[in-house]
């Protein structure tokens, strides 16, 4: 069988189903062994049975009874065993999904999506198949073969010993192939990971590929990965075929030995000539030979099953190893025991000499930042690309660990806060404006369990996207494509803003969410923030100074450091870097305006 710490609970949960399935398999296996006995009897007692049709009918009735038991038994074991195997697959997949949701962002920086998708599909299926068909093969390999061998020994022990030689060859061959199958399977799955990941990345970025006319280049790269994947699969298939060919050859050898030696023994018995095997005189009738043929025919499946078990167990073991490695991944962001639950939060935020380094980085993304954001303040955050603006707001969500005593919300160190309650305090419109493949209404109301259509309309008005939505034929029931591809860039940004506003949280974070809208729309959204978010903390990251000029205070970040913090009119006088940004953007607007007039 297959063992591991993540499987023990499923053996306990589904032991009854497995027990019923195994018992029914054994019943079916035993019932099968009676049929050759009855057929052999019909051959040996042919004349007597023809004369006594009642006795012949009785034997036929026993055969039909065995067939009925086999039918009923197979029906029960299929339901029992396959229900258990699919239950194990569902349970493992749920565990993996729960794990995936709880892992921090840093894990997904170093682990590719294609790898994870392969674990959730191919590897889970391999484990499920082993618990399904693998269980059937193991039971048949043990009990059907054992039942047939016992019947054969009772019938003719010397001929049975002769036939056991090829069966032992299969067992030796299986032990030899186990490690080789495991190694080849792990190589195969690793190449599948690369293929999954490349395909996923290309499908996600298909618009970029087409816009740069790089289809031919990407197809060539995919072909290279596919060829390597093909080579690994062909090597694995060759090993599989070689394994099956050897087993099939041994089976043919066993059947040839049976027909050759058995036929000679039947002839010797019929003519009264003694046949000697291993120094013993052996007799065999035509009916007994027929029984032997029937038993060998039955034992062919367990022989094949033995080979398949080796291959299947190797695959399942390799897949379980990968699944276990994923489930063993330690959590680096852990909710503290008895963490402080933020209730009735006011939105007070304080950074005290805050320094932050990404888990996979060496250079601080933010260094020595000390600012205090009072409840209800509207704060603008500006800086060059890569200056650390997004890292500044990401720190608030506890997506990463930060040093204790450096970041506080409502006076509580976020490292001591209950993470779910901390994240409930903050509404977020991310920079990439990710939208789900669902209706617009469900996207906007994502933060709540029940949809409040009135609040959805209010949120869409806040983001100045209400008219756009209502112009669609199905309005708020319009189903968006994957990642919101149905909408334009500006519409996606505004739906993302509406979703964040709908949450009505004490703290609202907008990460460069007005960059794709026109100036008029931007002014409407900023005006709505000032009016409808009055008394609630709002952080707005922007690339244009005009977007933040009306905020209560503005934080200027340069190379991870806070170089200025204060109202717009003060920063223009006291911060040369900010004043330069204002001047350059004013100049840019004048140039654009002049060009338009010309």
pLDDT tens across 256-270, in order? Answer: 877 887 788 777 777
- Rounded to 5°, the CA angle 189-194-197 comes to 120
- At residue 20, does pLDDT exceed 90? yes
Nearest 5°: phi and psi at 370?
A: -130, 105
Share of the chain above pLDDT 70, in %: 92
Strand positions, DSSP E, 180-324:
275-277, 280-282
| Chain segment 502-526, per-residue pLDDT in tens | 888 899 998 887 776 777 888 888 8
Residue bearing the bigger pLDDT, 161 or 378: 378
DSSP one-letter code for 364: -
Decide which of 507 and 305 is more confident. Answer: 507
The answer to whether the beta carbons of residues 407 and 413 sit under 8 Å apart is: yes
Neighbours of 338 (CB within 10 A): 7
**Would the pLDDT of 598 be above 60?**
no
What is the chain's percent helix, strand, coil content, to nearest 5? 65, 10, 20
Among residues of the chain, what percentage have pLDDT more than 90? 7
Token pair of 205 as six digits: 């970025």
Query: Which CATH number is associated with domain 342-425+538-598?
Result: 3.40.50.300
Q: SS in 3 state form for 36-48?
A: HHHHHHHHHCHHH
Q: Which residue has the higher pLDDT, 79 or 160?
A: 79
Which tokens in the block code for residue 403?
A: 């040093």
Q: Which residue has the higher pLDDT, 167 or 135?
A: 135
Q: Out of 3.30.70.20, 1.20.1560.10, 3.40.50.300, 1.20.1600.10, which CATH number does the structure's domain 8-327 have?
A: 1.20.1560.10
pLDDT at 596: 42
CATH architecture of 426-504: 3-Layer(aba) Sandwich (3.40)
Compute the average pLDDT of residues 217-238: 86
- Segments of the chain assigned to CATH 3.40.50.300: 342-425+538-598, 426-504
111 DSSP assignment: S
pLDDT at residue 180 tops 90: no
> Long-range contacts for 226-231 (Cβ within 8 Å, ≥24 apart)?
226/195, 228/191, 228/194, 229/191, 229/192, 229/194, 229/195
- Beta-sheet strand order (sheet of 378-383): 426-429, 507-511, 537-541, 378-383, 553-558, 561-566
- The answer to whether residues 123 and 130 touch, using CB atoms and an 8 Å cutoff, is no
3-state per-residue secondary structure call for 493-534: HHHHHHHHHHCCCCEEEEECCCCCCCHHHHHHHHHHHHHHCC
First and final C-alpha spacing in the chain? 80
Q: Which residues lie closer than 8 Å to 320 by C-beta, 6 or more apart?
A: 2, 4, 6, 7, 123, 127
CATH 1.20.1560.10 residue spans of the chain: 8-327
**Among the ranges given (111-115, 340-344, 504-508, 587-591), the one the predictor scored with the smallest mean pLDDT:** 587-591
pLDDT of residue 23: 93
Above 90 in pLDDT, residue 76?
yes
Tell me the pTM: 0.70
Categorize the per-residue pLDDT at 589 as very low, low, confident or very high, splitting at 50, 70 and 90.
low
């Amino acid at each position: 069988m297959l063992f591991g710490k993540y499987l023990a609970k499923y053996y306990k949960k589904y032991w009854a189903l497995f027990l019923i399935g195994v018992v029914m398999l054994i019943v079916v296996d035993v019932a099968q062994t009676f049929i050759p006995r009855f057929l052999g009897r019909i051959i040996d007692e042919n004349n007597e049975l023809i004369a006594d049709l009642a006795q012949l009918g009785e034997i036929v009735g026993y055969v039909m009874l065995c067939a009925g038991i086999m039918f009923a038994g197979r029906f029960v074991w299929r339901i029992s065993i396959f229900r258990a195997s699919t239950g194990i697959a569902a349970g493992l997949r749920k565990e993996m999904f729960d794990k995936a949701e709880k892992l921090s962002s840093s894990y997904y920086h170093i682990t590719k999506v294609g790898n994870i998708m392969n674990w959730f599909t191919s590897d889970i299926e391999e484990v499920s198949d082993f618990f399904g068909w693998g269980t059937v093969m193991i039971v048949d390999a043990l009990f059907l073969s054992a039942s047939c061998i016992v019947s054969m020994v009772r019938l003719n022990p010397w001929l049975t010993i002769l036939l056991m030689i090829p069966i032992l060859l299969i067992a030796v061959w299986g032990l030899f192939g186990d490690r080789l199958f495991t190694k080849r399977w792990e190589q195969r799955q690793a190449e599948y990971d690369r293929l999954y990941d490349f395909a996923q990345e290309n499908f996600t970025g298909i618009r970029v590929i087409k816009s740069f006319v790089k289809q031919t280049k990407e197809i060539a790269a995919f072909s290279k990965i596919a060829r390597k994947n093909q080579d690994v699969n062909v090597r694995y298939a060759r090993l599989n075929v070689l394994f099956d060919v050897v087993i099939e050859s041994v089976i043919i050898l066993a059947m040839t030995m049976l027909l050759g030696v058995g036929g000679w023994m039947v002839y010797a018995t019929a003519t009264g000539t003694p046949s000697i095997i291993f120094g013993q005189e052996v007799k065999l009738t035509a009916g007994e030979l027929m029984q032997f043929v029937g038993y060998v025919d039955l034992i062919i499946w367990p022989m094949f099953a033995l080979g398949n078990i080796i291959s299947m167990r190797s695959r399942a073991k390799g897949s379980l190893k990968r699944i276990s490695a994923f489930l063993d991944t330690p959590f680096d962001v852990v909710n503290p025991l008895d963490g402080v639950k933020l209730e009735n939060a006011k939105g007070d935020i304080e950074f005290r000499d805050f320094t932050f380094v990404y888990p996979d980085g060496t250079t601080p993304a933010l260094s020595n930042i000390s600012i205090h954001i009072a409840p209800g303040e509207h704060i603008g955050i500006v800086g060059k690309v890569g200056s650390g603006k997004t890292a500044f707001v990401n720190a608030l969500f506890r997506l990463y660990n930060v040093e204790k005593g450096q970041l506080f919300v409502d006076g509580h160190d976020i490292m001591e806060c209950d993470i779910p309650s901390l994240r409930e305090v903050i509404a977020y419109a991310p920079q990439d404006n990710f939208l789900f493949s669902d209706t617009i209404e469900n996207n906007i109301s994502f933060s709540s369990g029940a949809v409040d259509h009135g609040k959805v309309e209010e949120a869409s008005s806040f983001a100045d996207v209400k008219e756009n939505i209502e112009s669609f034929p199905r309005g708020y029931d319009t189903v968006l494509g994957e990642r919101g591809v149905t909408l334009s860039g500006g519409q996606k940004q505004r739906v993302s803003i509406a979703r964040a506003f709908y949450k009505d949280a004490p703290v609202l974070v907008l990460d460069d969410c007005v960059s794709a809208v026109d100036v008029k729309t931007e002014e409407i959204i900023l005006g709505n923030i000032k009016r409808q978010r009055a008394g609630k903390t709002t952080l707005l990251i922007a690339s244009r100074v005009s977007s933040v000029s009306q905020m209560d205070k503005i934080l200027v970040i340069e190379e991870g450091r806070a170089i200025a913090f204060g109202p717009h009119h003060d920063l223009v006088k006291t911060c040369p870097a900010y004043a330069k940004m204002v001047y350059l953007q004013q100049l840019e607007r004048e140039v654009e305006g002049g060009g338009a007039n010309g």
